[in-house]
Structure 1
């Protein structure tokens, strides 16, 4: 599960071949022992939870990098290494 970005203590990960459980493009985020799966298309929390402040930052980051995230999703689903994406600044 490669880390594709990291900002403000938030790790953003994308698992290889991870289209079975949630059935749509998504990322996994970790923050201080909490985890959530978040849909790339609309920012819906599919599983888990992180604090609201950090969730808002992740949602802003997704909006900025949505196109790159979809490219990474296709790579990861096919078992290829996704590219790193710039952090939120």
Structure 2
């Protein structure tokens, strides 16, 4: 599963198809926490993160929504996603 971005100890990844399934989403890892974020709504789908990290990830997702959707299209075709700028 490629890492597409990292910031403040948060790791953002996407799986390659055929392991993935709609809706478009990405996976977040922070220490022992794991979460899945819906790209279209920028909402937590499952799992949990501390409040501060949730806010950072959702803000980052809103800023990079178009890039995330483009990466989703790539991984659905079994292609390597592009790296996305971290939150600064």
* TM bracket, shorter-chain basis: over 0.9
1:1-89 alignment, distance < 5 Å: 1-17=1-17, 18-19=20-21, 23-89=22-88
Normalised TM-score (structure 1): 0.93
CA distance in 2: counterparts of 1:12 and 1:2, whole angstroms: 9
Local SS of the residue matching 2:68: helix
Q: For 2:48 and 2:30, how far apart are their aligned partners in 1?
A: 9
Figure out how many residues of one structure are paired with residues of the other and give that number.
86
Q: How high is the TM-score relative to the length of structure 2?
A: 0.94
SS of structure 1 residue aligned to 2:80: coil
Unpaired segments ≥5 residues, structure 1: none
Which consecutive aligned stretches of 4+ in structure 1 deviate over 3 angstroms post-superposition? Answer: none
Shift of 1:4: 0.1
Q: Distance in 1 between matches of 2:33 and 2:15?
A: 17
